[in-house]
Amino acid sequence: MILLSIILINLLKNIGIDCLTILSKEIVSFVLYLLTIVLIHDQLMNLFTDFALKYLILRKNMQIRWLKFGKKVNEDVSGYYHSKSVSSVFDYAINNLGLFSCPRKLFFYSQPLWKQDIEDKCINVTTLMNEIKIDFTKRIQDFYMTSKKGSNKNKNQTCVNIEIQDFIEFGYEMNPDDLIPIWTQEQENIVPSIITNIDQIEQPIEYVAGLDISFVKTNDKAVASMVIFNYETLNIVAKISVNCHMKIPYIPNYLAFREAPVFMRLIDIQKERCPHLTPQVILMDGNGVWHPRRAGIASHFGVLSGIPCFGVSKNVLYVDGITREKIKELLIEKAPEKDQYVEVIGDSGDILGLAYNVTGSVNSAVYISVGHKITLATACNIFKSVTKYRICEPIRQADLLSREIVAKLS
C-alpha cells in the first residue's frame, strides 16, 4: 500500500494536482491507467483492482486524457520496480469494468490496446473499453490457438475411476427446529467471505467438475459423485464417488449443511488420489447467491473448498420477490429463443442470477447463480461451453453416476 501511495503521489505532483485535495475520480483515473498498461507485481495488481472496484458508477462515466497520462506514468512508475512481474493486467482493466470477462494470466507484451490515432482527446472510459474489446478478443483467440497446439495429448486422456464403497456416516439424528437458528447464523457469518465481483480462477482453465448426490428412497443411504472434465475437449478425465449414510436432515434453504460435508470428502479424495486433475471451476446442482441470505450451496461450498463455484438449478427459488410466473414473463419478453438469457433482479435490486433458455422453451429454462470466486458473466460463458442438453454436462454426468450406483444399492 505504501508503494501504491508513492506512485500516486508522484503522478499527482507531476501533473500539478495537490494530493491533499485530490478527488476520488482522479485517483481512480490513475488506477485505471495502471490497470490498463503498466506491468506490475501480482500483489499490487490485486490492490489496484480492489481499489478500482469500489468506484463502479464513477468509473463508467469517467473521462481521462490517456496519452498525456500514459507518457507521465511510463516515466514515473518504471523506476519503482527492480524486477517486473510477468503479469500484465489488460484483462483486469476490462473485466473489472464489467465489459469483458477474460483470463487472469494472459501476458501481452505489446503496444497499448487503444488506437494511437485518438491523439490526446478526452475519451470516456466505457467507450474506450468497448473500442478495444474486439482487438482484445482477437489476442485471446491467438493466445489460445498457440497454447492449444501442444495440448493434443489431453484428447486421449484416460479416465480415472475412484469408487469408495465403504459407507461413511455423515451427521446424526437432529431436530430441525434446533438447527435452523444455528444454521441461519452460520449462513450470515459466511456471506462476507463470498466473492462474486471478480474472477479468481487459475488460467488457463484445464478442468471443470460437476457435483451431485442421489439418495436411496427406502433408507438413509446416498451416493455423492464428482465428474471431472477436460475443459477443452469435454472428455471425462475422472469419476469419483462416495457411499454414505446421510443422517443430516433436508431443510429447504439449508441444503449446504446436508450436502457440503460429503462434497468436501470428494474434494479430499480427489486431491489425495489425482491432484493433477484438480478442477479450476465446479458446477453444482443448486443455487449460489440466489438465496434468501445470499448463501446457497454453491456459495457455501465455494468458501469451504476455496474453489470457484457456481450453481445451476432446474427450479426457480422463490426469494426477493421472484416467482416462477415473473421469470416466465421475463423470459417471454427478453429471452424467448434458444440460447438466450436474461438477468434476474430481485425486489432489493440485487442481481440474483440468470434465467437461461437452453432449449427454446421458456418452461425448460435453467437458473444460473454465482457461488464464489467467479462473476456471473464468466459463469455464463463456462455454462455455454459445457452444455449440450438442458442440463450442463458436468452436473448431468455427476447425476448419472450417482444414480447408477444408487440403483445397485436399492
Residue corresponding to grid cell 484483462: 91
CA distances (Å), origin 272, targets 165, 202, 266, 277: 17, 20, 10, 11
**Which of 114-118, 176-180, 202-206, 396-400 is predicted least confidently?**
114-118
Write down the pLDDT at residue 170.
Answer: 87
**pLDDT tens digits, one per residue of 193-235:** 999 999 999 889 999 999 999 999 999 999 999 999 999 999 9
Q: Give all strands (DSSP E) within 202-302, no chain letters.
A: 207-215, 221-230, 236-246, 281-285
Q: How far apart are CA 364 and CA 119, in angstroms?
A: 51
Write down the pLDDT at residue 307.
Answer: 96
Write down the pLDDT at residue 157.
Answer: 72
Q: What does pLDDT average to over the chain?
A: 75
Contact 169, 276 (CB under 8 A): no
**pLDDT tens digits, one per residue of 281-291:** 999 999 999 99
Average pLDDT over residues 1-6: 46
Write down the pLDDT at residue 158.
Answer: 84
Contact 61, 3 (CB under 8 A): no
**Which of 46-50, 60-64, 69-73, 111-115 is predicted least confidently?**
111-115
**pLDDT tens digits, one per residue of 348-396:** 999 999 999 999 999 999 999 999 999 999 999 999 999 999 999 999 9
Tell me: pLDDT of 76 over 50.
no
Name the residue ranges covered by the structural domains of the chain.
160-315+370-409
Please give the full DSSP string across 94-159, using - where no structure is assigned: HHHTTS----TT----SS-SS-GGGTT--EEHHHHHHHHHHHHHHHHHHHHHHHHTT-GGGGGPPP
Q: What is the pTM of this model?
A: 0.64
Across-strand partners of 170? Answer: 246
Report the candidate in 244, 307, 303, 300 with the shortest Cα–Cα distance to residue 280: 307
pLDDT band at 171; cut points 50, 70, 90: confident
- Between residues 88 and 234, which one has the greater pLDDT? 234
**pLDDT tens digits, one per residue of 304-317:** 999 999 999 999 99
Average pLDDT over residues 244-256: 93
Which class in CATH covers the domain with range 160-315+370-409? alpha beta
Write down the pLDDT at residue 203.
Answer: 87
**pLDDT tens digits, one per residue of 252-275:** 999 999 999 999 999 999 999 999
Q: How far apart are CA 310 and CA 287, in angstroms?
A: 7
